[in-house]
Amino acid sequence: MKLTTGEKIFAGVNLLVLALAGLVTLYPFLYTASVSLSTAAEANRTSLHLYPREVSLAAYRMVLGNPDIIMAYGNTLLRTVLGTLLTLLVTCIAAYPLSRKELPHRSMIIFLILFAMIFDGGIVPRYLLIRNLGLMNSVWALVLPTMLTAFNIIVVKNFFQQIPESLGESARVEGASEATILFRIYIPLSLPVLATVGLWTAVMHWNQWFDAMLFISDNSRQVLQTLLQRVVIENSTQMMEIGAANASDITQFTPETVKAATVIVTILPILLFYPFVQRYFVKGILLGGVKE
Amino acid sequence: MKTHSTFTYRRHRELLLLILPVMAIFVLFNFGPLIGLVIAFKDYMMSHGILNSPWVGLENFHRLFASEDFPRALRNTVVIGLLRMTFGFILPIVLALMLNEVRIHWFKRGVQTLTYLPYFFSWVILGGIFLMLLGSDGPVNALIQSTGHSPVNFLSNNGWFLVVLVATGVWQSAGYAAVIYLAALAGIDPGLYEAAAVDGANRWRQTLHITLPCLIPTIVVLLILSLASILNAGFDQIYNMYNPMVYDVADIIDTYVLRRMQTLDYGLATAAGLFKSVVGLILAVGANWLAKRISHGEHGIW
Amino acid sequence: MTSREILFLIVTVLLISAAVALIPTAPRNAAPAVTAVKWDAVRDDPNERLKISWASCALFPSGKSDTWIQRHLEQVFNVEFDPIFMDVPTLHNRQPLMFSGGDIPDLCWHGEPLAVQRCIHQGFVLELPYELILKHAPTYVKNLNRYGPQAWLYSRYKGRNYGIPTWASGDVFPLVDLWRKDWLAKVGITKVPDTLDEFHTALWKFRHEDPDGNGVKDTYGTCPEPWWGMFFQNIFSAFSVLPQDLMMRDGRIVWGGIQPEAREALALLRQWYAEDLFDPDFAAASASSPTLRKFSSGRIGYYYGSASWHSLDLNNPGSIYTTMKQVDPRVELVPGPALIGLDGKRHARVWGGPGHVVWFSRDLAKQPEKVIRVLKIIEAFAANPDLFIASRLGKRGEHWEWSAQRGVHLLPPYDQPPNDKRNLLSIKDLENCWGFFSFCSVPLSETEPLLPKGMPAWRKTYSDPAWGMMNALGKSDVVPSAATLEDLRAFQIKVYTQIIRGDKPLAYFEEFAKVWRERGGDALLAEANQKLAEREAIYRTVGVIAAPTPPATP
């Protein structure tokens, strides 16, 4: 297809703007990675920190040598994997019937789901619920409450609705149950949306800190982000407020390099995991594009 | 005829069987805690529990609106919510459209990967990074100073802080929102474009008349959902970046609620939360009704 | 679907879920009123091993639950501890929820009287009569009365006592200023600044005369702490005023922040700000204090906020001096005493003796022998210096050692953070109340022999308790309407910053004072003055001989 000059200019400007957008998103991470690999002297210099002029692995040694962080890593991984798998499974089971127009009381159920998404009773009843179910201090307290969210259900439901009905019809005629249709037909065709929802869920679990702070009292089961907050707040003004002059812990000053290294260590697995999902993504999109 | 109705009946039963256990879980975890909403109408004494605490009717709500903090928090929430929605809505669509136009495969993948990146970071981290970047001794101000201007108080100046909030918020979420649109764009039948090209439409007209209309179902759904949560206004982000100097513009309902919880003022906290939820519900229902109205029943969530 | 259908559905759903989830929660055994314990009849058998859950000071979030200290104390007291380690956000966010679920640890700790008041109001706290404490912990009370009697107000609520106040021996020492000696030398100052004028000159030169010699004007004089207790406090102290505290004036309590001296100090600060001496970031407070980072990265040349002898200890791998030397070996730090004020004397803000509050769960009304046991424990720490040292430093030879040059120091690997905190060890906290099991200090005379050689003399020069000014009531939030304090403090900081930065004129100060009063300040002061009388009564009950004057208030 021959492009007009106007279209060529447009394409060029498009590329430029997108490249700029890409660089802007990249910079803060470059900065952090650079600081994490810098020596203390280099980290303190006021510069753009695009790359470390003096390299040192001391910060990483400190971070990885902290047993709490390694433990927290495992906990966060467990929570993320378990949470994502459960969420995907349950969301699909919920979204499929809702995508069928013939489901009795369909509108009502959807409204109920939205209603619950909008209203929040506050952390007191949520805490009491978890406590009464005996889930305190366990990974289930982090995974079960977030399993079903209206947003996920609706996204998957909408995707299911775009899958042609004829596929399900023909299966039904041959005697397949609804469950079979869901697992054998709909889910395999929904890999792009499942990958997306799965990714969101995984990221949410990886980054969650508030619920772990509430429900996990055992240090050995704590998750990464809550621990991170502790590292960052180590020498904070909150300590002063409690009323001891020396308590701001001037002797435990967390250097910027260590903070930066902790950050990098925290996000590394996601960065490694993401390219795989993206590949799946593209394949899924192609697959999903197959029409009858 | 009989075969058809038993067929249908069996189908209904199977569907319900699928959804019922899931709804049971949903009811347990998402509806159960709603009983806590009554705290908004009580003087909650922890040793009495939720059900035994004394009723005070609408007193908590009176206190909310009579206070200085809550109306301010409400105003801030609306302002920030609107800003976030406006920029956070338009930009991902634009980004997705622009990415869709790119023919160079590696470039497209590369930019997509990059813009999606910030989404993976929690605000505990991002807050820390931006505080470093935007401080008076950070690189951004260093750049500004090298052009001869005096350093800017990004973090302690009300106006600038709002800019920072919205900009960094969009920076974080634009990439992943764009992905949803890209997925939808990928689902558009290329045959439509070919037909339009044959009819003589250039790329701009194709975008206007094919791409955008095909995106509308997705846009509507996301718009309604984001309207319902507009009052969330990014608690995580604000909590990790705000300071007392910018409470005037940055204290939102959620941070207000958190502070009330910390001082054991659960009645006020729940009342504020309830208020927020009710407004969100009205917005969602209103938007859905509007969408249904305009599109003659075609679009909308329920 | 019809609206009736919706309503019916919602109500049914809510009822079902309530039945399932929450009805069993309402604690039936909740005793809202004060349960009277017959303390005379309570006997604590030392041979009975008691289990005590211990949620002490929130300074050891990474603490391990099998430390040597814990095991040693369990042996000595025949107790099985269940330690609960928290950090401050967890304390604020999770602990109230724990209470609401009925899980109140036997022993709890709070740093602010206001937090204790709230817990008492909600019915979680066991009342603790004065006689009980006097009977079982006489030495402890003697020390408390002598060194931190104001703390008795911290545990008081509506005329009754609800906890054990604690005190800190080291908090009478003012904080020390830190100066970049290499910078002073570069700009030609040979003596550490002592007066306001010398201070001003130094700050001016730090800003405008390129003290780090890199040719770029990227340094500032100083960046004050954004926290209300430290906000330009060294300057305000030179004017003999504590802007965010209650002060005694002519026998009555007034608020420092609306005094004329505060206005004068603001005028000076305003002028200095116009000369661009302060790093503009001071207004942007956040979780991590920016001031320390700026000092250590060579952005400012003067630091005031949390320094002490330990900050300059080059033997300490975590001290600020060591950290800065690692970055740049040319760095030289030198301490400075508090500035000489307008009246020719030095002044500085100190917390003073009074510390925090430890209280007991109301559930212990059924197990009062635990209370007696804890009282015996704190008495043992007060009466037995060796036990106290062990509870702070661990085992001599294994965790710590004393030498002539270094004084007391932690042995590897415990000297490297985070191993110290994980094992509940802390050297620099020896003189304050931050011990997990021994949450109170002992008199200075007992810990002084362990101090590094030269530290006492050093303190005489740089950190003399005679300069200390403290809050007239210890902490402002002992008054019933303490909840308004947070708002008032934030408001004051905001206005002060506006005046200093020039956003508002100096004349706005009068307007500010008026608004401050109306917003709850007047009520606060009225209650504070009532507390004075109440405190006298308490002093007579617990045996403080006379109401002491807070140290060094004119």
Query: Per-residue confidence at C288, pLDDT binned at 50, 70, 90?
Result: very low
In a domain, C249, yes or no: yes
Query: Per-residue confidence at C9, pLDDT binned at 50, 70, 90?
Result: low
* Res C123 pLDDT > 80: yes
- Buried residues in C291-312 as b, exposed as e (16+ CB within 10 A): bbbbbbbbbbbbbbbbbbbbbb
In degrees, rounded to 5, the angle at the alpha carbon of residue C312 between the alpha carbons of residues C321 and C210 is 50
Average pLDDT over residues B182-199: 79
Alpha carbon distance, N-terminus to C-terminus of chain A: 28
C487 touches chain B (CB under 8 A): yes
Query: Per-residue confidence at C550, pLDDT binned at 50, 70, 90?
Result: low
- Let me know whether C336 and C197 are in one domain: yes
What distance in Å separates residue B31's CA from the closest CA in chain C?
A: 7
Q: Could you give phi then psi for residue C168, rounded to 5 degrees?
A: -125, 130
- In chain B, pLDDT over 70 holds for what percent of residues? 93
Q: Is the peptide bond before C413 cis (omega within 30 degrees of 0)?
A: yes
End-of-domain residue from the set C450, C469, C499: C450
Digit-coded pLDDT (tens) for C362-383:
999 999 999 999 999 999 999 9
Query: Per-residue confidence at C163, pLDDT binned at 50, 70, 90?
Result: very high
Task: Provide the chain B residues 218-277 that lie in CB contact (below 8 A) with chain A.
Answer: 218, 221, 225, 228-229, 257, 261, 266, 269-270, 273-274, 277
Distance of alpha carbon A121 from alpha carbon C125, whole angstroms:
27
Give the residue from C537, C550, C543, C546 showing the smallest Cα distance to C156: C537
Residue with tokens 């330990």: C310
Query: Per-residue confidence at A115, pLDDT binned at 50, 70, 90?
Result: confident
What is the bridge-based pairing of β-strands C176-180 and C333-336?
A: antiparallel
* Res A112 pLDDT > 60: yes
**B137:C279 CB<8 A:** yes
C541 class by beta-carbon count within 10 Å (0-12 exposed, 13-18 middle, 19+ buried):
middle
Residue with tokens 């320390």: C292
Judge contact between A37 and A50, C-beta under 8 A.
no
Cβ-Cβ contacts under 8 Å between A and C: the total is: 172
Number of structural domains found in chain C: 2
Residues 6+ apart with CB under 8 A from A283: A191
Amino acid at B176: Y
For chain A, state the CA radius of gyration. 24
Residue C290: strand pairing partners: none
Closest CB to C22 among B32, B131, B247: B32
In a domain, C135, yes or no: yes
CATH number at residue B172: 1.10.3720.10
What distance in Å separates residue A172's CA from the closest CA in chain C?
A: 28
Q: Give the best-scoring range by mean pLDDT among C148-162, C291-305, C483-497.
A: C148-162
In a domain, B42, yes or no: no
**C30:B49 CB<8 A:** yes
- Let me know whether C298 and C418 are in one domain: no
**A122:B36 CB<8 A:** yes
In a domain, C148, yes or no: yes
Amino acid at A94: A
Query: Per-residue confidence at A167, pLDDT binned at 50, 70, 90?
Result: confident
Residue C435: strand pairing partners: none
**C32:B262 CB<8 A:** no
- Let me know whether C112 and C193 are in one domain: no
- Let me know whether C62 and C162 are in one domain: yes
Average pLDDT over residues A22-41: 84
ipTM of predicted assembly, 2 dp: 0.74
Digit-coded pLDDT (tens) for C168-197:
998 899 988 899 999 999 899 989 999 999
Distance of alpha carbon B119 from alpha carbon A200, whole angstroms:
9
Query: Per-residue confidence at C268, pLDDT binned at 50, 70, 90?
Result: very high
- Let me know whether C149 and C198 are in one domain: no
Distance of alpha carbon B126 from alpha carbon B45, whole angstroms:
38
Distance of alpha carbon A113 from alpha carbon A111, whole angstroms:
5
Domain containing C192 equals 176-349+479-528
Distance of alpha carbon C549 from alpha carbon C547, whole angstroms:
7
Residues 6+ apart with CB under 8 A from B254: B77, B232, B233, B235, B238
In a domain, C540, yes or no: no
With H, G, I as helix, E, B as strand and everything else as coil, classify residue C227. coil
In a domain, C518, yes or no: yes
Query: Per-residue confidence at C315, pLDDT binned at 50, 70, 90?
Result: confident
What distance in Å separates residue B144's CA from the closest CA in chain A?
A: 12
**B124:A285 CB<8 A:** no
* Res C490 pLDDT > 50: yes
Give the residue from A291, A1, A287 showing the smallest Cα distance to B206: A1
In a domain, B15, yes or no: no
Closest CB to C175 among A40, A133, A245: A245
**What pTM does this model have?**
0.82
**A108:C296 CB<8 A:** no
* Res C32 pLDDT > 60: no
Digit-coded pLDDT (tens) for B11-48:
778 888 888 888 888 888 888 788 788 888 888 887 77
In a domain, C166, yes or no: yes
In a domain, B9, yes or no: no
The tokens describing C415, both together, are 């000297």
DSSP state of C430: T
* Res C553 pLDDT > 50: no
Closest CB to A100 among B15, B33, B44: B15
Domains of chain A, start order? 5-56 (no CATH), 63-288 (1.10.3720.10)
Query: Per-residue confidence at C287, pLDDT binned at 50, 70, 90?
Result: very low
Give the residue from A210, A198, A225, A260 showing the smallest Cα distance to A57: A260
B277 touches chain C (CB under 8 A): no
Report the 10 Å Cβ neighbour count for C461. 10
In a domain, B193, yes or no: yes
Cβ-Cβ contacts under 8 Å between A and B: the total is: 249
Distance of alpha carbon B274 from alpha carbon B265, whole angstroms:
14
Judge contact between C470 and C349, C-beta under 8 A.
yes
According to the model, what pLDDT value does residue C24 have?
Answer: 44
Q: What is the dihedral of CA C111, C117, C119, C120, to 10 degrees?
A: 130
Distance of alpha carbon A102 from alpha carbon A165, whole angstroms:
12
With H, G, I as helix, E, B as strand and everything else as coil, classify residue C550. coil
In a domain, B223, yes or no: yes
HSE of C187, CA atoms in CB hemisphere, 13 A: 25
CA C376: distance to chain centroid?
25
Average pLDDT over residues C150-164: 93
In a domain, B109, yes or no: yes
According to the model, what pLDDT value does residue A2 have?
Answer: 58
What distance in Å separates residue A118's CA from the closest CA in chain B?
A: 6
Average pLDDT over residues C117-132: 91
DSSP state of C25: G
Give the residue from B140, A44, B151, B146 showing the smallest Cα distance to C280: B151
Average pLDDT, chain C: 85
CATH number at residue C441: 3.40.190.10
- In chain C, pLDDT over 70 holds for what percent of residues? 90
Task: Provide the chain B residues 168-197 that lie in CB contact (below 8 A) with chain A.
Answer: 171, 175-176, 179-180, 183, 186-187, 189, 197
Give the best residue of A178, A215, A225 to mutate against chain B (max B CB count within 10 A). A178
In a domain, B87, yes or no: yes
* Res A249 pLDDT > 60: no
- Let me know whether C496 and C426 are in one domain: no
Closest CB to B23 among A109, A208, A285: A109
C443 class by beta-carbon count within 10 Å (0-12 exposed, 13-18 middle, 19+ buried):
middle
**C61:A230 CB<8 A:** yes
Residue B25: list chain A partners with CB under 8 A: 90, 144, 147-148
Query: Per-residue confidence at C546, pLDDT binned at 50, 70, 90?
Result: low
DSSP state of A209: -
Amino acid at C276: D
- Let me know whether C434 and C308 are in one domain: no
In a domain, C243, yes or no: yes
Residue B241: list chain C partners with CB under 8 A: 286
**A242:C58 CB<8 A:** yes
The tokens describing B119, both together, are 């989404």
With H, G, I as helix, E, B as strand and everything else as coil, classify residue C442. coil
- Helix then strand count (H, E) for chain B reads 15, 0
Give the best residue of A204, A207, A215, A274 to mutate against chain B (max B CB count within 10 A). A207
Judge contact between B276 and B229, C-beta under 8 A.
no
- Let me know whether C401 and C514 are in one domain: no
- Buried residues in B134-155 as b, exposed as e (16+ CB within 10 A): bbbbbbbbbebbeeeeebbbbb
* Res A243 pLDDT > 70: no
Q: What is the dihedral of CA B124, B130, B136, B140, to 10 degrees?
A: 170
Query: Per-residue confidence at C3, pLDDT binned at 50, 70, 90?
Result: low
Amino acid at B291: A
Q: Could you give phi then psi for residue C220, rounded to 5 degrees?
A: -125, 165
- Let me know whether C162 and C246 are in one domain: no
Query: Per-residue confidence at A251, pLDDT binned at 50, 70, 90?
Result: very low
**B34:A119 CB<8 A:** yes
- Let me know whether C255 and C311 are in one domain: yes
Which residue on chain B is closest to C89 by alpha carbon?
B262
Residues B284, B287, B292, B298, CA torsion sign: negative
With H, G, I as helix, E, B as strand and everything else as coil, classify residue C468. strand
In a domain, B232, yes or no: yes
Judge contact between A200 and B176, C-beta under 8 A.
yes
- Let me know whether C150 and C186 are in one domain: no
- In chain C, pLDDT over 90 holds for what percent of residues? 44
According to the model, what pLDDT value does residue C318 have?
Answer: 67
Which residue on chain B is closest to C495 by alpha carbon?
B245
B51 touches chain C (CB under 8 A): yes
Residue C469: strand pairing partners: C349
Residue with tokens 């191993």: C419
**B50:C283 CB<8 A:** no
- In chain A, pLDDT over 70 holds for what percent of residues? 83
C100 class by beta-carbon count within 10 Å (0-12 exposed, 13-18 middle, 19+ buried):
buried
Judge contact between C140 and C382, C-beta under 8 A.
yes
In a domain, C258, yes or no: yes
- Let me know whether C282 and C193 are in one domain: yes
Residues C351, C355, C356, C357, CA torsion sign: negative
**A177:B121 CB<8 A:** no
Residue B277: list chain A partners with CB under 8 A: 118-120
* Res B176 pLDDT > 80: no
Average pLDDT, chain B: 80
* Res C240 pLDDT > 90: yes
Residues C221, C246, C526, C480, CA torsion sign: positive
In degrees, rounded to 5, the angle at the alpha carbon of residue C396 between the alpha carbons of residues C394 and C397 is 125
Judge contact between A248 and A237, C-beta under 8 A.
yes
Long-range CB pairs of B57-65 (<8 Å, 24+ gap) are: B60/B267, B60/B268, B60/B270, B60/B271, B61/B271, B61/B275, B63/B268, B63/B271, B64/B268, B64/B271, B64/B272, B64/B275
* Res B243 pLDDT > 90: no
Number of structural domains found in chain B: 1
Which residue on chain A is closest to B173 by alpha carbon?
A25
Average pLDDT, chain A: 78
Q: Worst-scoring range by mean pLDDT, A18-27, A171-180, A252-261, C247-256?
A: A252-261
